[in-house]
Chain A
Amino acid sequence: AQTVTQSQPEMSVQEAETVTLSCTYDTSENNYYLFWYKQPPSRQMILVIRQEAYKQQNATENRFSVNFQKAAKSFSLKISDSQLGDTAMYFCAFMKLGNNDMRFGAGTRLTVKP
């Protein structure tokens, strides 16, 4: 079974600063996908960034980037130039290739302070 661990229940960052959220996972699979989702108070999960395990290059989406370390089974999210609208719960998720159920971590509550 795959497990996803987010070791930081809460984090805070000053507006315009950079913050990194940690995620580790456990799997025996070689081909899989990793995701970071944002969940604001509205409850709607929004995909932030996605990484295919076969790609060595780290994914980036504007201010969001990941540090994917396959051997270490680590998948951290870096948010640059943090904005007040980034305040939300952030969930790391794993999905095996060919499968359809995502496994989520327990989440990290991020607060961006003005």
Chain B
Amino acid sequence: GAGVSQTPSNKVTEKGKYVELRCDPISGHTALYWYRQSLGQGPEFLIYFQGTGAADDSGLPNDRFFAVRPEGSVSTLKIQRTERGDSAVYLCASSWGTGNNEQFFGPGTRLTVL
């Protein structure tokens, strides 16, 4: 596809479960970003990848959150022992490089923790 895609579109899980959220960036984009958007708020930065490595993970709220990008393309955000407070829309974005290069966003995954 031409844009950033994210799967699943919606995910409902129970408190304490493990979830994985997937992001397929635009082909050729070296930078990939994850954001979390809580209800009624703007997106909040979680982590940024340049290639395969996490260049900045300062936004991850705690050690239950982890993200990988093993081949420098697809990324997976992993959340262990989910809590109700993790419920939010998780947005992924990609760009050609870093700095002021435009970030192209995916449609997000809405995570609901019951």
**A107–B44 Cα gap in the complex (Å)?**
12
Are B99 and A98 in contact (CB-based, < 8 A)? Answer: yes
Which residues of A63-114 have CB atoms within 8 Å of chain B's CB atoms? 91, 93, 95, 97-107
Nearest A residue (CB) for B50: A100
Shortest Cβ gap from A94 to chain B (Å)? 11
**A43–B98 Cα gap in the complex (Å)?**
23
Task: Please report whether the interface of chain B is mostly helix, strand, loop or mixed according to DSSP.
Answer: loop
Chain B interface extent, by class: 20 to 34
Could you jot down 8 A-B contacts, CB within 8 Å? A44-B3, A44-B105, A91-B42, A95-B100, A99-B99, A100-B33, A101-B56, A105-B42
Chain A interface extent, by class: 20 to 34
**A16–B110 Cα gap in the complex (Å)?**
34
Since A100-B99, A106-B42 are in contact, a sample of 4 more A-B pairs with Cβ atoms closer than 8 Å, ordered by chain A residue number, is A43-B107, A101-B33, A103-B45, A106-B41
Shortest Cβ gap from A59 to chain B (Å)? 12
Q: Is B25 an interface residue (CB 8 A)?
A: no
Q: Mark interface residues in A32-46 (1 if CB within 8 Å of B CB, else 0).
A: 010001000011111
- A105 CB contacts on chain B under 8 angstroms: 42
**Contacts A43-B108, A44-B107 known; A52 to B100 CB distance under 8 Å?**
yes
Q: Is B79 an interface residue (CB 8 A)?
A: no
Which residues of B74-97 have CB atoms within 8 Å of chain A's CB atoms? 89, 91, 93
Q: Is A47 an interface residue (CB 8 A)?
A: yes
